[in-house]
Amino acid sequence: FTDSKLSKILEMVQDATARKSQTQLFISRFAKIYTPIVFALALAVCFVPYFFVDPYIFNVWFYRALVFLVISCPCALVVSIPLGYFGGIGLASRSGILFKGSNFLDVMTKIDTVVMDKTGTLTEGVFKVQEIVTKDIEEPYLVKLAAAIESQSTHPIGLAVVEHAGKDATKELTVSEVEEISGHGLKGTIDGKEVLAGNTKLMKKFNVDYPAEIDSIVYTIVVVAVDKKYKGHITIADKIKDDAVQAIKEMHALNIKTVMLSGDKQSVVDEVAKKLGIDNAYGDLLPEGKVEKVQALKNEGKHIAFVGDGVNDAPVVALADAGIAMGGLGSDATIETADIVIQNDQPSKIVTAIKIGKLTKQIVWQNIIMAMIVKLIVLGLGAGGIATLWEAVIADVGVALLAILNAVRIQKMKL
């Protein structure tokens, strides 16, 4: 159980309650300073009038000091503010979003740019073979070669080729020395022949000539070469997620810039970006290329949320102000690195996470302002001898209860 995904999720939830937001940390520090200051002021209310008021009646000023001390209790702030953040985390959890700390609720309120990976984040990540083109080789054998080497990878494109070939198609082939070249594809040996299966960048890397028209194909392709000779290519298509278009529209409605990064070729990326209405899209990127793009945006002063799912996305997730992982399709490394995990892989939940962050901050500041205004009024009345001790008790407890009820209210809200 200790190594299971459920135990890791439970551990993340426990960690989330330990990671405090900036507002919580401020209130905790404020309470430590506030309490002795208020106690000193209460003593001043009791004894300082001795030097200025005639006649000085100790019982009157002692009573006023007690009123001052009771109403100044910071419990409304110290209790309701953490409760507000817990409520935000609870609302997010019920929406299928796991925040790994209340500090990330605050971070989401500042996000002005959302950068997203393409495959598995905006698209289903479930590829299907559309077309197979061969040269000097039988089609079934080309598919077997591609499937045999792609079976050594967990990439969705490779899985599509393996599924198309069938699970028993590669049994008679001997595969060895398989090497995954990040952002390019796979290289290996099958029955003594060197086989390459990947994108056109892989072919260029190993100086394999291929037909020029391949570069103009919009869809994702797997180019296959045997002993550095082009033998054909397999065209594969992915499907855009149902709620992706609506998610991008909602981000734009919140004045959030959208950027898509992908290792796929630029023509594929441009096609998907056009369908979704994304502001900027960059293709042909290696993992380090994604890091460079995000770093460039950060250098411009942007507050960035990066959303990804693959193991290659983990460095970018760590770099972003808010790293978001797709929990269903996401790799363990990305989920571990991320600050926020979307359990059901829906892009629309990105907007939900931003809205929950803003809603939580709004309620927390409502409590702070309400508590401070009421306390300052009653403090003044108490020091002036107008408010009684019972009124101070009722005001203190009443404000605390109102603040707590307001904080709990967030868990009942619908987004």
Mean pLDDT computed over every residue of the chain: 85
Q: For Cα atoms 182, 187, 190, give the angle at the middle one, nearest 5 degrees.
A: 155
Domain count, the chain: 2
CB 76 within 8 A of CB 400: yes
122 lies in some domain: no
Strand partners, 128: 237
- C-alpha angle with apex 240: 237 to 246, nearest 5 degrees? 165
Tokens 């950060």 map to which residue?
A: 298
Whether 214 is covered by a domain: the verdict is yes
Q: Please report whether residue 273 resides in a domain.
A: no
Would 215 be classed as within a structural domain? Answer: yes
What is the predicted pLDDT for the residue at 331?
61
372: left (phi over 0), alpha (psi -120 to 50) or beta: alpha
pLDDT at 37: 86
Instruction: Kindly state the percentage of the chain with pLDDT values over 70.
Output: 91
**Does the pLDDT value for residue 206 go beyond 90?**
yes
Distance CA 376, CA 72 (A): 8
CB of 20 closer than 8 Å to CB of 102: yes
Nearest residue to 146 via CA among 125, 129, 162:
162
Closest by CA position to 343, among listed 330, 327, 331 = 327
Q: What is the pLDDT of residues 282-333, one digit of tens each?
A: 998 888 888 899 999 999 999 999 998 767 777 888 888 898 988 765 566 6
The answer to whether residue 100 sits within a structural domain is no
Does the active-site annotation cover 117?
Answer: yes
Helix (H) or strand (E) holding 331: none
Strand-strand pairing, 304-308 and 113-117: parallel
CB within 8 Å of 324: residues ≥ 6 apart: 305, 306, 307, 308, 317, 338, 339, 340, 341, 342, 350, 353
386: confidence class by pLDDT, cuts 50, 70, 90 = confident
By three-state DSSP, how is residue 243 classified?
coil
Residue where a domain stops, chosen among 196, 214, 237: 237
Cα separation, 287 vs 261, in Å, equals 10
Q: pTM of the prediction?
A: 0.73
Q: pLDDT of 211-253, one tens digit each?
A: 988 888 877 889 999 999 999 999 988 888 989 999 999 999 9
**Bridge-based pairing state of the strands 220-226 and 113-117:** unpaired
Phi, psi of 181 (to 5 degrees): -105, 110
Q: Span 21-39, mean pLDDT?
A: 71
* Domain's final residue, options 190, 205, 237: 237
Confidence band, pLDDT 50/70/90 cuts, at residue 384? confident
Rounded CA-CA distance 338/383 in Å is 51
- Percent of the chain with pLDDT strictly greater than 90: 29
Please tell me the predicted confidence (pLDDT) of residue 13.
Answer: 45
Last residue of a domain, one of 205, 237, 269: 237
Name the 3-class secondary structure at 202. helix
- Which tens digit of pLDDT belongs to each residue from 127-165? 888 889 999 999 999 999 999 898 888 787 888 888 888
pLDDT digits (tens, 9 = 90+) for 59-72: 988 988 888 888 87
Residue at 110 is within a domain = no
Q: In the prediction, which pLDDT does 16 show?
A: 43
Strands 257-261 and 280-282: parallel
Predicted pLDDT at 330 = 54
Whole-number pLDDT of residue 238: 81
In a domain, 261, yes or no: no
Q: Which of 106, 117, 321, 396 is catalytic?
A: 117
Note the pLDDT of residue 152: 84
- Collapsed DSSP state (helix, strand, coil) of residue 66: helix
| Full domain range(s) for residue 41 | 5-88+357-412
Q: Is the pLDDT of residue 23 over 90?
A: no
343 has pLDDT over 80: yes
